[in-house]
Amino acid sequence: MAAYAHIVGWGKYIPEKVVTNHDISKFMDTSDEWIKTRTGISERRFANEDETTATMAIAAAQLALDRARIKPSAIDLIIVASLSPEQPFPATASLVQDAIGANRAGAFDLSAACAGFIYALSMGSAMIQSGAAKIVLVIGSETVSRFLNKEDRGTYPLFGDGAGALVLQAHNTPGGVLSTVLGSDGSGAEHLSIPAGGSKLPASQYTIDNRLHCMQMNGREVYRFATRIMGKVAKQACEKAGVDLDDIDLFIPHQANIRIIQSASKYLGIGDDKVFTNLHKYGNTSTASIPIALCEAVEAGRVQAHDKLVMVGFGGGLSWGATVVQWGMPVPYKPRQWWYRGLRWFVYRWAKIRSSYLRLKRRMESILPTKNGNGYLTPDEERSGDKYKENGHSPHISRNGHTPEQVDVPAEIPETYSETEEPVIEVEKPSNGK
């Protein structure tokens, strides 16, 4: 039986700190009119010191799971798309998994810049359609503000922070994610990037002095690329899904620039009444822009059951992607009763307790001697290596993996071993029923 990946939960997190165009004009040679006429952005949100990519992703995920009425332990996979992860590793998705108590879930991060959420949605739906997963949590979360150069007028006014999450669930009812189209052109990689911080340009005084850890963008080239690709890839996704452009109920593009959005909608022949935008409030939140926009479209009553939605993203790589989704959830969302909210509160507090217990357990295991079959080794046993011999381990290999210069060869060699040959393992031949 075919499985379809339906969106059953959605949630967003928006930082409280508002940075207006007027605020930026106080320290940069720009103005509210200059920014607004060229981008359509009036203000954006920046994360506070205690807000990170992980904390915002967790908040959005909890809200999405609440709306889906799905417990965290039922999740099979968590995917976090971000160009500003918590750190290079471990994955931000693993931190989300631990915080929400998704103890059965796999977790990984995905890097495709501003197109990342479409990539993540594609991976999640493919896992469900293949039967490898039943419930997938897909998140786009960003703290781009911490990678911006306050002296760069070409990037600083454009970006903001935030997070959005969707819950995908397998169902045999046709609908959900109908198609996805992904693409990339690495020949344009230098036009939008954060040059330093990787293996090519690790952190050094040079990279810091030249602000190579901040985002750099060739605005003219990115604009030309975006206006060419957004409408084209959206049309390809519709053709793949078998959906006519006239049947599109709502177009939700990556919220980067109002002129790029208008160019794409004109290419597709979609009227302004079928295009959702919120970049005037949040700016470009990178991977979070599409899920945040979808959440607000649902909240505004712009999405109804069985509506066909087209979502398109583009960004560094250069990369792009589009998806067609048939909405299956009844709306509007009804607030949960007090007892349900209390139950969810307990679930997440229990996740914190579980996490603290596992951390304490690891600390205790690192303090206590190595555990061996029947119990913990005493210091004398560890030094003598007697217990290692009993379990088949060589006592001549130190615990840090180094081999001493002189190693005594055991007096007796098992009969199945040769001094010059690999061990011989005898396998009983099948009887073939005889």
Q: Which of 114, 214, 238, 295 is catalytic?
A: 114
Query: One-letter amino acid identity for 32?
Result: D
Q: Which of 191, 238, 257, 284 is catalytic?
A: 284
Q: Considering just the CA atoms, what is the radius of gyration of the chain in Å?
A: 27
Q: Identify the CA nearest to 113 among candidates 45, 76, 159.
A: 159
Query: One-letter amino acid identity for 332?
Result: P
Whole-number Å distance between alpha carbons of 381 and 378:
5
Bridge partners (DSSP) of residue 309 are 250, 325
Whole-number Å distance between alpha carbons of 217 and 239:
32
6 membership: H or E segment, kind and range: strand 4-13
How would you label 59-95 residue by residue, b for 16+ Cβ within 10 Å and e otherwise?
bbbbbbbbbbebebeebbbbbbbbbbbbeeeebbbbb
Asked if 84 contacts 43 with a C-beta cutoff of 8 angstroms, the reply is no
Q: Which of 6, 214, 238, 254 is catalytic?
A: 254
Instruction: Indicate the DSSP class of residue 338.
Output: H
Bridge partners (DSSP) of residue 4 are 171
Whole-number Å distance between alpha carbons of 154 and 39:
11
- CA 262 to chain CA centroid, Å, is 28
Residues sharing a CB contact under 8 Å with residue 394, sequence separation 6 or more, in sequence order: 388
Catalytic residue flag (residue 284):
yes
List Cα–Cα distances, 275 to 117, 260, 262, 290, 376, in angstroms. 19, 12, 9, 12, 65
Residues labelled as active-site residues:
114, 254, 284
